[in-house]
């Protein structure tokens, strides 16, 4: 095993342990409310997904391409025996998507759908004051709902409910609902 492969294996182990630990760590007291986010990259741009808006996270899942007028549709994949449409998160956010997303996140809710993105940078547990969200009913910037402030950067937070709404519009009106 070369140094680069060993480094990637160690990084993956650290990410898995951090993710697993997030489910067993004791809850924080009410005064220290925290938000759990996944730091991701789509089309080389950093974003954050709220963990409580996802139903699962998968790496290297096969996606079968489908023809159609919705360019954000990557194809379909199977999750727990169910065929689910997979959409490019980069395309939904107005970015140029890469060929095949490495990571897929199942979006909470029905009907089942997944979004694909290029990289998972880690699990974040941030104090509530490190997040700024738009007020309900206020003008939104597409599928983004706020900002997560880290010591070295700010991440735009993707609103997966807004992503679901955008996909429904695109599916009903493929030409009018296109984002990218």
| 174 phi/psi in degrees, rounded to 5 | -55, -40
Q: What is the pTM of this model?
A: 0.76
Q: What is the pLDDT of residue 26?
A: 46
* Residue 163 clears pLDDT 90, i.e. is over it: yes
Q: What is the pLDDT of residues 118-139, one digit of tens each?
A: 999 999 999 888 888 776 655 5
Paired with 123 in beta bridges are 38
Contact 87, 113 (CB under 8 A): yes
* Residue 170 clears pLDDT 80, i.e. is over it: yes
User: What 8-state DSSP symbol labels residue 69?
Assistant: S
The domain segmentation of the chain, as residue ranges, is: 34-172
Q: What is the pLDDT of residue 140?
A: 54
User: What 8-state DSSP symbol labels residue 141?
Assistant: B
Q: What is the pLDDT of residues 107-117, one digit of tens each?
A: 999 999 999 99
Q: What is the pLDDT of residues 39-87, one digit of tens each?
A: 999 998 999 999 999 999 999 999 999 888 888 999 999 998 999 999 9
Topology of 34-172 in CATH? Answer: OB fold (Dihydrolipoamide Acetyltransferase, E2P) (2.40.50)
């Amino acid at each position: 095993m070369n140094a680069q492969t060993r480094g990637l294996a160690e990084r993956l182990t650290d990410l898995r342990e951090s993710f697993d630990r997030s489910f067993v760590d004791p809850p924080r007291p009410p005064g220290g409310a925290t938000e759990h986010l996944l730091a991701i990259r789509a089309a080389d741009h950093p974003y954050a997904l709220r963990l409580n808006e996802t139903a699962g996270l998968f790496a290297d899942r096969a996606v079968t391409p489908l023809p159609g007028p919705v360019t954000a549709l990557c194809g379909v994949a199977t999750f727990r025996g169910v065929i689910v449409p997979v959409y490019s998160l980069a395309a939904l956010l107005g970015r140029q998507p890469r060929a095949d997303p490495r990571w897929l996140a199942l979006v909470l809710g029905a009907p089942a759908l997944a979004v694909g993105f290029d990289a998972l940078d880690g699990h974040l547990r941030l104090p509530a004051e490190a997040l700024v969200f738009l007020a309900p009913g206020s003008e939104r910037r597409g599928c983004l709902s706020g900002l997560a402030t880290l010591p070295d950067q700010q991440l735009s937070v993707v609103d997966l409910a807004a992503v679901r709404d955008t996909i429904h519009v695109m599916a009903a009106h493929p030409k009018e609902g296109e984002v990218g």
